[in-house]
Structure 1
Amino acid sequence: MRLIDELVARLGARDPMFTCGWGDRQALEAIVTGGLFVADDAAAPAVKRTPAQSRFAGARALDLAFPSPATSLPPEVSTATVRHLEPLRPREERAAVVVLAASREEGYGLREAIWSKLATDEGVDVFLLENAYYGSRRARGQRSASLPTVVDQLRMNLATLAEVDALLRHFARERFSRTAVTGFSMGGAMAALAGALLRRSFAVVPMAATIRPATIYTEGLLSRSVAFEALDVDGRVVDARGRLAEVLDVADLSRLAAPVCRAATVVVGCTVDGFVAREGTVALAEHWGAELRWVRGGHVSALFSGRRAMRRAVLDAIERLPTPVDQARHVRMASP
């Protein structure tokens, strides 16, 4: 299982990230100084729906699109796109889950394979967000899912948070009673950040995530895919790794609050993960006071062997959410 992670890391290193360096230095410093945040006065987005080509017994697939609330994206990237798996037999108390993409995961195929059963068998609406700069949202001239600059990475992360917030507002307008955000690897890190930064009551289930995401890029197997030679600091490549860690520590979860509804948080780790250190996953669960579950497998193999356990974790977290009336009370108590 660990060998599979090693092989995937070796293949990923053939197409490294950040080959064009840091990107716009002024924008970089603005993000690092300002931190990650989401505007709390946004309105629910105007969502366009069209039938999708995917077919499922027990659910219909729709493609959703809405203007991204993120203002720093280039025009060709600025429309958020989402695959919605709508159950033909939804729950009486309607439930929705947003599933976020892993690093360099383009399209919906893998997530559909893992999560469609929530729609077809459990009556939960599933929403798969396509990340900015991935798949149909690539920037002009972008040749692959390996982002050319660090600023692109941070803009993607900020856009993901803003778009998750927009989807949660959309769910409220559509009268969903229970909502959740989950994801695997980078998707898990973004789900955790959404739980920490969006001060409303929803279930949070980060998978294969760590308390300090910077370590994934500077210490783990994914660091082999980082073009550190392009991130020199005043001509000294030796300082690039440390500087990248400082920049990405804007997402250090130990500096942020726990989700509003701690009872509805479940942290899921992989037993032999080659990309995410076990102690980082444990630290995240301890920081939140959340339940910690383990699925057997490595970072890659768990996506195949651990699917049922992953879906179960999301269902259990959704069931632990308070009633809509109690959810409003949770939000008021969690507000500063």
Structure 2
Amino acid sequence: MPRRLLHRLRAPSASLALHLSVVHPWGLLAAVLRAPSRLLDSLTAAHHRYLDRLTARVTQNAVLFPQGFFCDGWGDLNTPKRLWEVLQSNRMREVNVLGASDISWTPRRRLPTARVCLEEGRFASTLPNAKQFLPASSLDAFCELVTPSDWYNDDGSEKAVEDRTLVVLLPGTGEHGFLHRRTALAIPLARRGVATLILEGPFYGRRRPQDQKGSKLRRVSDLPILGQATIEEAKSLLAYCQQHRGFSHLVVAGSSMGGLHAAMTASVFPGDVGATAWLAPPSAVPVFTDGLLAASCNWTSLYKQHELELLDKMLQGHAVTSSSSQERSFLDEDPVQQAKKRMRLFLSITDIDNFHPPRRCDAVSFVVGTEDEYIGARAPEWTTPS
């Protein structure tokens, strides 16, 4: 993407002056900042582990984030069992349909320099029993539709465009709001004639609970609930855009956590949809037990003995964790290791192996980092769908 942007700036001197006179200041700043990044490619390739660790140190800073992830403990201990029952019953394949008027859209506005149009939508979360599982701040979902400006006439009416493609872009860990995904992905895709619908996930951005610090979820159970809500909302948006916005080709995509949720969405969506995930873990388990984010977890709040005993009773005989029964012996282990083993069992519901391959395996593309410090060196790799 940066090469194409720089190529556009290498115009003849006369037209370059005109172009720079109308370019948005933030766009110009982005071009200036991205150009040197190519010079750092060899450095990051050789020392990426140290850079990963340096970045993680910022998010683990005791002054900025004194409580870390899961400061309020495990949360709803029934969550793994409930979600497993949902998966087993195939209810995840059902779509909670959004009617034509169920999404409230802002007036379309143009970004002339980027050559795109933006519309922001708001709708009630389509997670079943959302009020029971989501905080009040997450009950309303927000999305941003980014489309090529040449899809519209000067008077704002839509042109007749056949075979329109839409990418529903899900949030990765720490992706609050729309700006980053709009700049890095949606605008470049629009220049290739592809629209993007950016979803702001629960617990993030305007949907973040007031007592939550940044992306640091306060309870372990918030994580699978966040995932279920994201998947349900993504399915509803895919169906809505196909039925009411005239998109003929659908793709769901995301990076990191968003990539994992994109793969899960493609698995349970009843229609044809492509899926693209990059730098995504196959499960949340290695991220929070072996990867760099493990150091950001508030383990003190997770190894209270009475909670561990109650958690063991909830997980005992659980189908999701039956294959890990050999890990039930916690004697003579330090408290953090005891908590980590329960964490592996609790979050095993987030494993992609619990989901069937999507309808269109030929429309799936996964990009995996071979030495991703955030996922952890011992994490299993993605396998080719069969």
TM-score (norm 2): 0.68
Q: Which runs of structure 1 show a deviation greater than 6 angstroms over 4 or more consecutive aligned residues? A: none
Which segment is superposed worse, 165-174 or 85-94? 85-94
Check whether the contact 1:81–1:129 (CA below 8 A) recurs between aligned residues: yes
Deviation at 1:197, TM superposition (A): 2.3
Deviates more, 1:124-133 or 1:10-19: 10-19
Identity among equivalent positions (%) equals 25
Q: How does 1:115-126 map to 2 (within 5 A)?
A: 115-126=185-196
Match of 1:201, SS state, is coil
Of stretches 95-104 and 140-149 in structure 1, the one that deviates more from structure 2 is 140-149
Counterpart amino acid of residue 89 in structure 1: D
Greater Cα shift, 48-57 or 1-10:
48-57
For 1:150, the aligned partner's letter is: V
Aligned residue for 1:57?
Answer: 114
Counterpart of 1:285 in 2: which secondary structure? coil
Q: How many residues align?
A: 287
Measure the CA separation in 2 of the matches of 1:191 and 1:254. 14
- Asked if residue 19 in structure 1 is aligned to residue 118 in structure 2, the reply is no
Deviation at 1:246?
0.9
Which whole-Å CA distance do the structure 2 matches of 1:84 and 1:219 have between them?
A: 36
Is the Cα contact below 8 Å between 2:95 and 2:235 reproduced in 1?
no
TM superposition shift of 1:179: 0.6
Distance in 2 of aligned mates of 1:152 and 1:258: 26
- Alignment counterpart, residue 243 of structure 1, candidates 338, 342, 363: 342
Corresponding position: 1:48 with 2:104? yes
Distance 1:262 1:203, change over 3 A: same
Aligned to 2:294: 223
Read off the aligned partner of 2:104 and give its amino acid letter. K
CA contact (8 A) 1:82 1:128 kept: yes
Match of 1:2 among 49, 71, 74: 49
Q: Given residue 166 of structure 1, which amino acid in structure 2 is its aligned partner?
A: S
Find the counterpart in structure 2 of residue 327 from structure 1.
Answer: none
1:185 to 244, 250, 256: 256
Q: Based on CA coordinates, which of the two structures has the bigger radius of gyration?
A: 2
Distance 1:185 1:30 in 2: 25
Report which stretch shifted further, 126-135 or 102-111: 102-111
- Ranges in structure 2 where 5+ consecutive residues have no aligned partner: 1-47, 152-160, 307-334
Q: 1:47-88 CA distances to partner (integer Å, 9 max, x unpaired)?
A: 111148883522111111111011122332111101111212
- Is the 8 Å Cα contact of residues 110 and 116 (structure 2) preserved in structure 1? no
Q: Which of 153, 172, 180 is the matching residue for 2:242?
A: 172
1:79-228 mapped onto 2 (5 Å cutoff): 79-90=140-151, 92-173=162-243, 174-228=245-299
Distance 2:347 2:56 in 1: 20
Q: As a proportion of its length, which structure holds more strand?
A: 1
Distance 1:50 1:169 in 2: 20
Give the direction of change, closer, same or farther, for the CA distance of 1:51–1:222 in structure 2 (3 Å limit). Answer: farther
User: What does the per-residue CA deviation read over 1:144-190, in whole Å, with 9 as the maximum and x for residues that have no partner?
Assistant: 22111112222211110110011011112122110101111111111
Distance of 2:352 and 2:340 partners within structure 1? 20
Partners in 1 of 2:260 and 2:171 — Cα distance? 10
Bigger Cα displacement from structure 2, 217-226 vs 86-95: 86-95
Return the letter of the residue paired with 1:105: E
Q: Give 1:210 deviation, angstroms.
A: 2.8
Change in CA separation of 1:233 and 1:200 when aligned onto 2, cut-off 3 Å: farther
Change (3 A) 1:11 1:33: farther
Larger mean CA deviation between 194-203 and 138-147 belongs to 138-147
Whole-Å Cα distance in 1 between the matches of residues 370 and 267 of structure 2? 25
RMSD: 2.4
Note closer, same or farther for the CA distance 1:238–1:262 as it changes in structure 2 (3 Å cut). same
Q: Using the TM superposition, give the Cα deviation of residue 41 of structure 1 relative to its aligned residue in structure 2, in angstroms.
A: 4.8
Could you list the per-position Cα deviations for residues 219-238 of structure 1 after superposition, in whole angstroms to 9, with x for gaps in the alignment? 11121222222111526443
CA distance in structure 1 between the aligned counterparts of 2:51 and 2:147, rounded to whole angstroms: 34
**Counterparts in 2 of 1:52 and 1:103: CA distance versus 1, 3 Å:** farther
Which sections of structure 1, spanning at least 5 residues, go unmatched?
Answer: 290-336
**1:137 shift after superposition:** 0.7
Q: CA deviation at 1:271?
A: 4.9
User: Which range moved further: 42-51 or 31-40?
Assistant: 31-40
The one-letter code matched in structure 2 to 1:261 is: R
Question: Do the aligned residues in 2 keep the contact of 1:210 with 1:277 (CA within 8 Å)?
Answer: no
Structure 2 CA distance for aligned equivalents of residues 258 and 277 of structure 1: 24
Deviation at 1:212, TM superposition (A): 3.0
Distance 1:193 1:41 in 2: 14
- CA–CA separation in structure 2 for the residues paired with 1:106 and 1:119: 20
> What TM-score do the two structures reach when normalised by structure 1?
0.78
SS at match of 1:86: strand
- Distance in 2 (alpha carbons) for counterparts of 1:231 and 1:122: 48
Contact 1:214–1:249 (CA under 8 A) maintained in structure 2? yes
Range that drifts further, 47-56 or 237-246 = 47-56
